[in-house]
């Protein structure tokens, strides 16, 4: 089991890293190992130290 450190991103948020190999398997990286496009995830706290992360397709983040 790989362990990932929780890191403070700014004053109000924290983040974790996702293994690059896992992102590659999901087809999210290009041939240079860079992210293809933008991707969004929904993070749900399931309780007792467990979270579920799910990629969400078709999000419109345009500014009105």
C-alpha closest to that of 28 among 64, 53, 1: 53
**How confident is the model over 1-51, as pLDDT tens digits?**
788 999 999 999 999 999 999 999 999 999 999 999 989 999 999 999 999
Model pTM above 0.75: no
Quote the DSSP letter at residue 5.
Answer: -
- In whole angstroms, how far apart are CA 62 and each of 8, 57, 59? 27, 15, 9
């Amino acid at each position: 089991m790989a362990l990932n450190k929780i890191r403070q991103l700014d004053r109000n948020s924290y983040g974790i890293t996702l293994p690059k190999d896992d992102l590659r398997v999901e087809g999210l990286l290009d041939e240079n190992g860079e992210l293809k496009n933008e991707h969004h995830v929904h993070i749900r706290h399931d309780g007792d130290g467990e979270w579920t992360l799910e990629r969400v397709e078709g999000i419109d983040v345009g500014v009105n």
